[in-house]
Chain A
Amino acid sequence: MSAAAAALRPAAMSVLRGAAALLVVAALWEGLVIATGVKPYYLPRLSVILQSIAQVPDAYIAGFLRTASETLLGFSVGAVVGVFNGVVFSQSRRLREVIFPLFVISQTIPVIAFGAVVVLWFGNTILAKAVIAFYLTFFPVTVNTLNGIESVDPRQVDLLRSFGASRFKLMRQLLLPAALPQIFVALRLACTLSLLGAIAGEWFGDTVGLGVLLLQAMYNEQVVALWAAILVAGLLGTTFYGLVALAEKKFVFWKAEQT
């Protein structure tokens, strides 16, 4: 009982510390803007921004939900395909050598340019943005899954094999769990990337989403609305990142002391 409480304490402490840091930043922001008299064009007061969100919460909530679903869809499929690719590549050297360079080249294509084409292919749907988010997610996950699997001690593989473990069993019980810490590093990176893809994808004439809110605010030079959209995008980004980090703590508990 008390051991569990003691284990909970660091987590609670870090949440508290995060909340305290947030409050400090908010107070600093508000105070500095008032004290230095920065023009609202450059940096409006935080309270003004929050008020403007409170006035029309529906647009921000709708944008949040829309962008979140695009991101999540692309991210999950990208994560699954990435792990799958990593597993396949680890089993077939030849396949890896033929396909991997193509993946590398594919990642040098500027997403947004590709976005124009994707939106044309799939129309202005959630699917188009999810495809862009997917495109940015699968690559880091593939790379890290492969690296994680390859860095397993070959003696452990030999040992399991000598006990007659099948390829499938070897993968499930040794290689994938061993690669998990690396996979999570990629997932954390990918959650920022997939959100970026979803937002940029909305720039091709969609009507709902955080990217749309950003673009509209820019064209109308409404700095307050722009900051409001940035804050909501930040909220989405940090929540998403936090959830992935939480999952990492739960599934990669043996590495908990490292992060």
Chain B
Amino acid sequence: MSARSHASRRTLVNGAIGIVGVVVLWEAAARLLDLPVYVLPSVSRILAAIVAQHQLLWNAALMTMWEAVAGFFAGSAVGIVLAIALTMMPRARRVLLPMATALNSVPVVAYAPLILLWFGIGPTSKIVMVAIAVGFTVFLHALSGLDRVDRRAVDLMRSFGASPAAIIWRLRVPAAIPLTAAGMRVSTVRAMIVAIVTEMLGATGGLGWTIFQAVLQIDFVQVWAAIFVASAISLVFFGGVNMLEKRYVFWK
């Protein structure tokens, strides 16, 4: 126990060394080489900009967070329901799965302009985009999780007269939870990124919009400030889902 906590503390310390090292290097490079702001502003300037503009950035962040979180949950729900439905219908699955894989190899951002035309530039289009991106990932993870059952366990349950529905609920769904949760965890960062990417193409507010405006005004300190905020939110989101996963998928 103490050996383990010692090891995890070592990991933490080493990780902190890396992060502090980069920040120091960055600050030193920006100051000593006197880099122009558009190449690389110093960390302290970026942080100062965040403090100075905290109201504006916070409002933008709230909007992006809402889009990312709403899309994340909608997409996860649809992905899981579809995966269960397809597992119950092997025939439909054989036809639909190759199509889903083909659709998935089209980059999500290619749909972004279309979704914007359909749903307008408000938050709805971003929520739809995030839901599509998250939905696919969670769907594919849930599907392969549902398949990850011992054939013999299925046969055993069937020989005891379990209905197909019972086999799904009692055996396949619990077996699929770890992989589905992993799919949701990797989707958190993606949700933020997709929300921001879509905002840049057209929006009424949000971090992506802030970044786009700042690029147009060649205000690169503001670009970096928004990047920092977006990155921090992604980390918190990721950490939160990760924590929930550790608590509820404890057997993994």
Which residues of A approach B to under 8 Å, CB–CB?
A: 17-18, 21, 24-25, 41-42, 94, 97-102, 105, 107-114, 116-117, 120-121, 191-192, 195-196, 199-200, 203-204, 210-211, 214-215, 217-218, 221, 223, 226-227, 229-230, 233-234, 237-238, 240-241
The answer to whether B38 touches A120, judged by C-beta atoms less than 8 angstroms apart, is yes
Minimal Cβ-Cβ distance residue in B for A102: B18
Q: How near does chain B come to A41, taking the closest CB pair, in angstroms? A: 8
Known: A102-B19, A227-B114, A237-B106. A21 touches B99 (CB 8 A): yes
Q: Is B106 in contact with A99, judged by CB distance below 8 angstroms?
A: no
Decide if the interface of chain B is mainly helix, strand, loop or mixed: helix
Q: Which among A105, A108, A111, A218 is the interface contact of B117 at CB below 8 angstroms?
A: A218
Contact indicator B107/A196 (Cβ below 8 Å): yes
Tell me whether B197 and A114 are in contact (CB under 8 A). Answer: no
Determine how close the nearest CB of chain A comes to the CB of B65; give it in whole angstroms: 13
Are A221 and B106 neighbours in the complex by a CB distance under 8 Å?
A: no
Q: Which 6 pairs across A and B sit closest by C-beta, in order of nearness?
A: A97-B14, A218-B113, A108-B234, A101-B15, A196-B107, A237-B105
Pick the residue among B10, B110, B189, B227 that contacts A113 (CB under 8 A): B227
CA distance A211 to B112 in the complex (A): 11
- Closest residue of chain A to B231, judged by CB? A108
Do residues A230 and B106 form an inter-chain contact, with CB atoms below 8 A? yes
Least CB distance, B8 to chain A, in whole angstroms = 11
Given known A-B contacts A192-B104, A230-B111, A112 and B19 have beta carbons under 8 A apart: no
Nearest CB in chain B to that of A242: its residue? B105
Asked if B167 is an interface residue, CB under 8 A from chain A, the answer is: no
- A109-B230, A121-B39, A237-B107 known; A214 and B113 CB under 8 Å? yes
Q: Are A200 and B102 in contact (CB under 8 A)?
A: no
**Are A107 and B189 in contact, with the CB atoms below 8 A?**
yes
B-chain residues with CB within 8 Å of residue A100 when the two chains form the complex: 15, 18
Inside 8 A of A211's CB, which chain B residues have their CB?
109
Assess whether B106 is in contact with A105, with CB atoms less than 8 Å apart: no
- Using A114-B227, A217-B113, A218-B116 as known contacts, say yes or no to A234 and B17 having CB atoms under 8 A apart: no
Chain A residues with Cβ below 8 Å from B15 are: 97-98, 100-101
Residues of B within 8 A of A (CB): 10-11, 14-15, 17-19, 21-22, 38-39, 95, 98-99, 101-114, 116-118, 189, 192-193, 196-197, 200-201, 207-208, 211, 215, 220, 223-224, 226-227, 230-231, 234-235, 238
Q: How far is the CB of A219 from chain B (nearest CB, A)?
A: 9
Q: In the bound complex, do residue A94 and residue B14 qualify as a contact, i.e. CB atoms below 8 Å apart?
A: yes
Interface contacts (Cβ under 8 Å), in number, total 137
B114 and A226 contacting across the interface, CB-CB below 8 Å: yes
**Which chain B residues lie closer than 8 Å to A200 at the CB level?**
109, 197
In the bound complex, residues from chain A placing their C-beta under 8 Å from that of B99 are 21, 25
Q: Judging by beta carbons under 8 Å apart, are B38 and A110 in contact?
A: no
Of the A-B pairs whose beta carbons lie under 8 Å apart in the complex, a sample of 9, sorted by A's number, is: A41-B117, A109-B230, A110-B192, A112-B200, A112-B208, A214-B110, A223-B117, A226-B117, A230-B110
Closest residue on chain B to residue A210 by CB atoms: B110
| Chain A residue nearest in CB terms to B227 | A113
- B residues within 8 A CB of A218? 113-114, 116-117, 201
CB distance from B161 to the nearest CB of A (A): 31
Q: Which residues of A contact B105 (CB under 8 A)?
A: 191-192, 234, 237-238, 240-241
A247 to chain B, nearest CB (A): 15
Contacts of A111 in B (CB 8 A): 193, 197
In this complex, what residue of A is CB-closest to B111? A230
Please determine whether B107 and A233 come into contact, CB atoms closer than 8 angstroms: yes
How far does the alpha carbon of A64 sit from the alpha carbon of B238 in the complex, in Å?
35
Find chain A residues with CB under 8 A from B231 CB.
Answer: 105, 108-110
Q: Which residue of A lies closest to B110 (CB)?
A: A233
Cβ-neighbour of A229 out of B21, B110, B226, B238 (below 8 A): B110
Determine the distance from Cα of A111 to Cα of B98 in the docked complex, in whole angstroms.
Answer: 29
Report A222 CB to chain B, min CB distance, Å: 10
User: In the assembly, what is the distance between CA of A99 and CA of B25, in Å?
Assistant: 14
| A203 and B200 contacting across the interface, CB-CB below 8 Å | yes
B21 touching A98 by the CB < 8 A rule? yes
Q: Chain A contacts of B193 at CB under 8 A? A: 110-112
> Contacting B211 at CB < 8 Å: which of A113, A121, A203?
A113
